[in-house]
A and B are shown apart, each in its own frame.
Chain A
Amino acid sequence: MQQIFNFVIRNKTFLLFLLLFSIALALTIQSHSYHRSKFINSANGLTGGVYGTVNSVGQYFDLKDENELLAEENKTLRQRLFNLGVSVDSSFVDSTYVNGKYMVVVGDVYKNSYSLSNNYLTINKGKKDSVQQDFGVITSKGIVGIVDNTSKNYATVLSILSKKSRINAQLKATNHIGSLTWNGDSPETTQLMDVSKFAPVKVGDTIVTGGESSIFPKGIGIGTISSFETDISGDTYTIQVRLFNDMTNLGKIYILENLDRREILNLQSTIDE
């Protein structure tokens, strides 16, 4: 017994180092698996507060760009509305009843990163605004990522620029699907894997989200094909996708809640059994 104590006391620095290093390593390994970065993440009051303060100053510098973006989006929406040919009765809006599958919440990006191998955003909407895990996040141009952790006022978003993320996507022209991944190289391009070799792939074609996932609605823009190649087995294409979004410059984002998600997941889990 005496010897054990002596050993501990003699090597206390090394033992403490070992302990702390293992904790750090455990946190690291845990963060490499999807939806597991539970303890250390930036969806909390401290980090949210600091990023919020910084953002409230920084916001003013890109008000002009932000305005132009909104005007552009308004233009597209108006165009769609007029071409729809139905008159929208704006006097009747019942906010308790949402006629449709998706609820939209608007938020600000407080922190964005794109140089790591798993990138996260911090946004200023959380449980209080009924934002939960696995909600989709988009901008007016295209998709951004999926909500990971939430706290009362903030949430972290797993960016599509992440080696962990797999998002169902498809060609806009046909219904050939693939999964959108990122190889960690450039924040401008992502990779669409496992697209069937029967798909008519052309450089310049548009890639949109597929309807298979219960997170994003079908048809949200992702990017255009910049190049493609058949993979080693020769059965599938790997497509380089140039993103519509400039992932290095994100301001306002929209968070999408699929109101039918629970029903879809329930249905799918009964099939699995």
Chain B
Amino acid sequence: MNNTAVSHIIRFVLLLLAQVVIFNHVNFLGYINPYIYIIFILLFPIRDTRLSLLLVSFLLGVLVDMFSDSGGVHAAAAVTLAYARPVLLKTSFGMLYEHHNIKFNSSELGNLITYVTLSAVLHHFILFSLEIFNISSIILILKKTLFSSIFTILLSVLLIILFSRNRK
């Protein structure tokens, strides 16, 4: 139990609580909610194995599902995001990822925004597809994905910047 592990556990709990207590009940314009718990999956240490990331993401998703009575939609979306993360990292950070050298705290803001945007859109698309579960409502799925993603991206980038310690 070192320092990083503890801080990640605290982040896990805080993000989960913030999500289910505050952000699930925003309902901006009736249906737009940000899903900021994906920050945990985004900022999971890169050096750790992908297996543990998958397992932890699944757990996080199931817990969010439990609180919001939504079956397994958050779990499915979170696991997909966790599995696709290396690809997303490579597209947004390029060479830095190849060298296992990304510091989320001090990376370029542009790269960070690309990373968060791609992740949020992927996650939300899976989430709403499964939640609505009806291919004929594809317009509704896309609409919800678009608006909720904008909300999530804004909040996530703000939160990541706010809570990163050594940004100049």
Interface residues, chain A, with chain B CB atoms under 8 Å away: 12-14, 16-17, 20-21, 23-32, 37, 40-42, 44, 46-47, 50-51, 54, 111, 113-118, 120, 122, 156, 184, 186-187, 248
Residue pair A54, B21 in contact (C-beta under 8 Å): yes
Interface residues of B in 20-67 (CB under 8 A from A): 20-21, 24-25, 27, 30-33, 50-51, 54-55, 58, 61-62, 65-67
Stretch at the interface among B3-11, B69-77, B97-105, B114-122: B69-77
B133 to chain A: closest residue by CB:
A32
How far in angstroms is the closest Cβ of chain B from A85?
Answer: 46
Nearest CB in chain B to that of A14: its residue: B83
A111 to B79, CA, bound (A): 26
Total contacts A to B, CB within 8 angstroms?
A: 110
A25, B140: Cα distance in complex, Å: 20
Q: In the assembled complex, which residues on chain B have CB atoms less than 8 Å from the CB atom of A25? A: 72, 76, 130
A13 lies within 8 A of B21 (CB): no
Residues of A within 8 Å of B62, CB to CB, are 24, 27, 40
Contact indicator B71/A31 (Cβ below 8 Å): yes
The answer on a CB contact under 8 Å between A31 and B68 is no
Is B154 an interface residue, CB under 8 A from the partner? Answer: no
| Inter-chain pairs besides A115-B32, A115-B33, A187-B30, 11 sampled, C-beta below 8 Å | A20-B55, A24-B72, A27-B62, A32-B71, A37-B71, A40-B71, A41-B66, A42-B67, A47-B67, A115-B27, A120-B69
The 9 A-B pairs with the shortest beta carbon distances in the complex, nearest first, are A31-B71, A27-B72, A24-B76, A120-B69, A24-B75, A24-B72, A115-B31, A17-B83, A28-B72
Question: Using Cβ atoms and an 8 Å threshold, which residues of chain B touch A122?
Answer: 69
Q: Which residue of A lies closest to B53 (CB)?
A: A13
Complexed CA–CA distance, A248 and B72 (Å): 24
Are the C-beta atoms of B72 and A31 separated by less than 8 Å? yes
- Set A14, A21, A44: member contacting B80, Cβ < 8 A: A21
Contacts of B79 in A (CB 8 A): 17, 20-21, 24
B66 nearest in chain A by CB position:
A40
- Of B73, B76, B82, B132, most buried by chain A (CB within 10 Å of CB) is B76
Nearest CB in chain B: distance from A36 CB, A? 9
Contact A40 B65 (CB under 8 A): yes
Contact of B75 among A27, A37, A42, A111 (CB under 8 A): A27
What distance in Å separates the Cβ of B109 from its nearest Cβ neighbour in chain A?
30
**Residues in B104-152 with C-beta less than 8 Å from chain A:** 130-133, 140
What separation, in Å, do the CA atoms of A214 and B121 have in the docked complex? 45
Chain B nearest CB from A17 CB (Å) reads 4
> Which residue in A21, A30, A37, A50 is a CB contact (below 8 Å) of B69?
A37
Docked-complex contact B51 and A16, CB < 8 angstroms: yes
Is B17 engaged at the interface, CB distance under 8 Å to the other chain?
Answer: yes
Instruction: Write out the residue numbers on chain B whose beta carbons fall within 8 Å of the beta carbon of A118.
Output: 69-70
A127 CA / B76 CA spacing, docked (Å): 31
The answer to whether B83 and A13 have CB atoms under 8 Å apart is yes
**Chain B residues whose CB sits within 8 angstroms of the CB of A17 once the complex forms:** 54, 79-80, 82-83
Chain B nearest CB from A25 CB (Å) reads 6
